[in-house]
Homo-oligomer: A and B are copies of this chain.
Amino acid sequence: MNETDDTNTAQPGPRIEIRYCTQCRWLLRATWVAQELLTTFGTRVGEIALVPGTGGVFVVTVGDDVVWDRAEQHGFPEIPALKAAVRDRVAPGMPLGHTDRAAARAAE
């Protein structure tokens, strides 16, 4: 999938927030996740906010929904599953190609 746009979206898409721990040096991981999501969803997303925090935090929120919380799920999100969770909120039904197949395998 390359950077796709939906330039005639009247409404700006939802805000995605990636809260990450600076003490754990997770800035690069957080910006990598942001790049993956912005490459796939383009202007369907209103914005992705990188929020520096401390204490081992790594939380991804779409609108009001927490779609990943390291404290709950331990470790880091797999990109295919994360993209599927974002797609279901940002552009329901949007095909993600191999990402859908990878997410389906992971869910088996």
A interface list, Cβ under 8 A from B: 3, 5, 7, 15, 17, 22-23, 25, 27-28, 31, 34-35, 38-39, 42-43, 45-54
For A15, A17, A38, the residue with the greatest tally of chain B CB atoms inside 10 Å of its CB is A38
This protein's copies in its complex: 2
Question: Which B-chain residue is minimally distant from A37 (CB atoms)?
Answer: B50
A46 in contact with B51 (CB, 8 Å): yes
Task: Show 18 residue pairs from A and B whose CB-CB distance is below 8 angstroms, ordered by the A residue.
Answer: A3-B25, A3-B27, A5-B52, A5-B54, A7-B23, A17-B47, A22-B38, A31-B31, A31-B34, A31-B38, A34-B50, A38-B50, A42-B52, A43-B53, A48-B50, A49-B49, A49-B50, A50-B50
| Complex contacts, A51 vs chain B, CB 8 Å | 46-47
| Given A47-B51, A48-B50, A50-B47, A38-B27 contact (CB < 8 Å) | yes
